[in-house]
Structure 1
Amino acid sequence: MHTPHTTPRKASHTWPALIAAAGLAAAGLVALAPSAGAQPQQAPSHRLTTARSCSVSTAVDVMACKALKVTSGADSLAPAARSAHPAAIPSGYGPTELRGAYALPDTGGDGATVAIVDAYDNPNAEADLATYRSQYGLPACTTDNGCFRKVGQSGGATLPVPDPGWAEEISLDLDMVSATCPACHILLVEADNSAMTSLGESVNTAVALGAKYVSNSYGGGESGADSSYDSQYFDHPGVAITVSSGDAGYGVEYPAGSQYVTAVGGTSLQQDTSARGWSDTVWGGAGSGCSSYDPKPAWQQDGECAGRTVADVSAVADPATGVAVYDTYGNDRGWEVFGGTSASAPIIASVYALAGQPSEGSYPASFPYAHGGGLNDVASGTNGECAGSYLCTGVAGYDGPTGLGTPDGVAAFAG
Structure 2
Amino acid sequence: MSLLALVTGGLLAATPSVAAQQPASPAASHVKHLCAKPAKPGMMHCLALARTDVKQHRGISADAAAAPSGYGPADLQSAYNLPANAGSGATVAIVDAQDDPNAESDLATYRQTYGLPECSTANGCFSKVDQNGGTNYPTADSGWAGEISLDVDMVSAVCPQCHILLVEANSANMSDLGAAVNQAVSMGAKYVSNSYGGSEDSTDAQSDSAYFNHPGVAITVSSGDSGYGTEYPAASQYVTAVGGTSLSRDSSSRGWSESVWGSSAGGNGAGSGCSAYDPKPSWQTDTGCTNRTVADVSAVADPATGLAVYDTYQASGWNVYGGTSASSPIIAGVYALAGTPSANSTPASFPYANTSALNDVTSGANGSCSPSYLCTAGTGYDGPTGLGTPNGTAAFTG
Q: What is the aligned partner in structure 2 of residue 256 from structure 1?
A: 234
Corresponding pairs, count: 377
Which of 366, 371, 374 is 2:357 aligned to?
A: 374
Q: What is the aligned partner in structure 1 of residue 26 from structure 2?
A: 29
Question: What amino acid is the match of 1:300?
Answer: Q
Contact 1:219 1:254 in 2 (8 A): yes
**SS of residue in 1 equivalent to 2:202:** coil
Which of 126, 132, 154 is 2:132 aligned to?
A: 154
Which of 147, 163, 168 is 2:146 aligned to?
A: 168
**SS of residue in 1 equivalent to 2:274:** strand
Question: What amino acid is the match of 1:322?
Answer: G
Task: Give the deviation of 1:17 after TM superposition.
Answer: 5.4
Which of 80, 96, 100 is 1:102 aligned to?
A: 80
For residues 73 and 329 of structure 1, do their structure 2 counterparts lie closer, same or farther at Cα, with a shift above 3 Å needed?
closer
Which of 253, 261, 286 is 2:270 aligned to?
A: 286
RMSD, matched Cα = 1.9
Counterpart check, 1:321 vs 2:305? yes
Q: Distance in 2 between matches of 1:29 and 1:148?
A: 39
Question: What amino acid is the match of 2:213?
Answer: D
Q: Distance in 1 between matches of 2:170 and 2:100?
A: 12
**How do 1:79-158 residues align onto structure 2 when only pairs under 5 Å count?**
85=62, 87=64, 88-158=66-136
Question: What amino acid is the match of 2:385?
Answer: T
Which of 357, 367, 370 is 2:340 aligned to?
A: 357
Task: Give the deviation of 1:28 after TM superposition.
Answer: 3.3
Q: What is the aligned partner in structure 1 of residue 14 from structure 2?
A: none
Which of 302, 309, 330 is 1:347 aligned to?
A: 330
Deviation string, structure 1 residues 81-125 (Cα, Å, up to 9, x no partner): xx9945431000000000100000011100000000000000000
Which of 190, 196, 200 is 1:222 aligned to?
A: 200
Q: Distance in 2 between matches of 1:136 and 1:258?
A: 35
Q: What is the aligned partner in structure 1 of residue 265 from structure 2?
A: none
Question: What amino acid is the match of 1:135?
Answer: T
Counterpart check, 1:403 vs 2:394? no
TM-score by length of 2: 0.92
Q: Kindly, what percent of the aligned residue pairs are identical?
A: 65
TM-score by length of 1: 0.88
Deviation string, structure 1 residues 330-385 (Cα, Å, up to 9, x no partner): 1x321000000000000000000000000110110000000101100000000001
Task: Give the deviation of 1:21 after TM superposition.
Answer: 4.0
Contact 1:267 1:317 in 2 (8 A): yes
Q: What is the aligned partner in structure 2 of residue 64 from structure 1?
A: 45
Question: What amino acid is the match of 1:66?
Answer: L
Counterpart check, 1:212 vs 2:193? no
**How do 1:165-244 residues align onto structure 2 when only pairs under 5 Å count?**
165-244=143-222
Q: What is the aligned partner in structure 1 of residue 283 from structure 2?
A: 299
**SS of residue in 2 equivalent to 1:303:** coil
Q: Distance in 1 between matches of 2:23 and 2:153?
A: 29
Contact 1:234 1:241 in 2 (8 A): yes
For residues 86 and 362 of structure 1, do their structure 2 counterparts lie closer, same or farther at Cα, with a shift above 3 Å needed?
farther
Unaligned stretches of 5+ residues in structure 1: 1-12, 31-45, 76-82
| Bigger mean CA offset, 388-397 vs 126-135 | 388-397
Task: Give the deviation of 1:242 after TM superposition.
Answer: 0.1
Contact 1:29 1:320 in 2 (8 A): no
Task: Give the deviation of 1:27 after TM superposition.
Answer: 3.9
Contact 1:23 1:281 in 2 (8 A): no
Task: Give the deviation of 1:292 after TM superposition.
Answer: 0.3
Question: What amino acid is the match of 2:50?
Answer: K
For residues 387 and 224 of structure 1, do their structure 2 counterparts lie closer, same or farther at Cα, with a shift above 3 Å needed?
closer
**SS of residue in 2 equivalent to 1:92:** coil
**SS of residue in 1 equivalent to 2:270:** coil
Question: What amino acid is the match of 1:245?
Answer: S
